[in-house]
Amino acid sequence: MKVMVCGKGGSGKSSISVIIAKILAKKKRVYLIDSDESNTLLPNLVGVKQPRAIVEYLGGRKGLFDKGEVSIVKALAKAEKGIDLSKLPSDYISYSKEGIGLVTIGKVKNFQEGCACPLNFITKTILKNLVLNDKDFVIVDTDAGVEHIGRGVEEGCDAVIVVADPTAEALSLAKTLKDAFKPLNKEFWLIINKATQDIVEIMREKAREFGLVIDGIIRFDNEVFKSCLQGKPLKANEAVEDVKVALSQIGLL
Ligand SMILES: Nc1ncnc2c1ncn2[C@@H]1O[C@H](COP(=O)(O)OP(=O)(O)O)[C@@H](O)[C@H]1O
Ligand SMILES: [Mg+2]
């Protein structure tokens, strides 16, 4: 199973991705793919050292489109047919104590370095060509917004989880993403994050206005907030309980 976690910047995509990864790692072999080209602290949240970026493995961003899908798969393929993340060289995948394998696609760091398109192309190519067994579960923590749609990254996944914080903007983006995914016939789930008691009803009403169904509500959790502030391995209390409920509801647990 390959699930992309999308949504507005700051809505909690990375935090929720890590919480999902930790919960599922108890039963599955979980890979977390960091495809956000700007934020760099996911390894801290997972509690691992930063793996080398896949874009480096492929010789850098230049000329990636010319190389094309076939040669990227060839370079990365460690299985007979397609890409097996467990066979990546050890400096390109970092394993947490729970067994979560973190893979980083690449970051845009320098002025005028160019856009993130080649990085999205790598993510798409990897997702489309992964060889997985029943126990494997891949979570892709994406960049904010809609750029990945433009590059068709979603083509390679089975389902999309949109994380929305309690804002009309986040729900509006969720609606855009839902409409964009519709032709792909993928599972689509909406999770409201950082919810406080008084706003739940307002969110439900607002979601209805957008024609959206809410599949899970994750409470504001001060431990999550503090871990992100300190850049430390993610700790969570009520958010874990709520993510478990949401995962059961959508059939992933
Ligand atoms: N359930 C939650 N409760 C409290 N704070 C949260 C929760 N989820 C995310 N946050 C906070 O929101 C901010 C953005 O989270 P992050 O996961 O980095 O979002 P994104 O990856 O969507 O940009 C961080 O400060 C994080 O601690
Ligand atoms: Mg993030």
Concatenated DSSP letters of 205-223: HHHHHTT----EEEE--HH
- Residues 160-164 have a mean pLDDT of 96
What percentage of the chain exceeds 70 in pLDDT? 96
Q: How far apart are CA 122 and CA 194, in angstroms?
A: 31
Q: How many helices (H) and strands (E) does the chain have?
A: 10, 8
Instruction: Give, rounded to a whole angstrom, the gap between the first and last alpha carbons of the chain.
Output: 12
Q: How far apart are CA 253 and CA 248, in angstroms?
A: 5
Neighbours of ion ligand 2 (CB under 5 A): 13-14, 39
Q: What is the pLDDT of residue 163?
A: 97
More confident position, 72 or 46? 46
| pLDDT tens-place string over residues 102-111 | 999 998 876 6
Q: What is the mean pLDDT of the chain?
A: 92
* Token reading at 189: 């789930």
Any ligand 1 atom below 6 A from CB of 14: yes
Any ligand 1 atom below 6 A from CB of 224: yes
- Residues 167-187 have a mean pLDDT of 93
| pLDDT tens-place string over residues 30-47 | 999 999 988 899 999 999
Q: How far apart are CA 1 and CA 88, in angstroms?
A: 19
Q: What is the pLDDT of residue 83?
A: 93
Which of 26-30, 123-127, 154-158 shows the lowest per-residue confidence on average (mean pLDDT)?
154-158
β-bridge mates for residue 137, sequence order: 30
Q: 6 CA to middle of ligand 2, Å?
A: 9
Q: 134 CA to middle of ligand 1, Å?
A: 30
Q: What is the pLDDT of residue 111?
A: 66
| pLDDT tens-place string over residues 133-157 | 999 999 999 988 777 776 777 889 9
| pLDDT tens-place string over residues 237-246 | 999 999 999 9
Residue nearest (by alpha carbon) to ligand 1 atom 15: 12
**pTM recorded for the entire structure:** 0.96
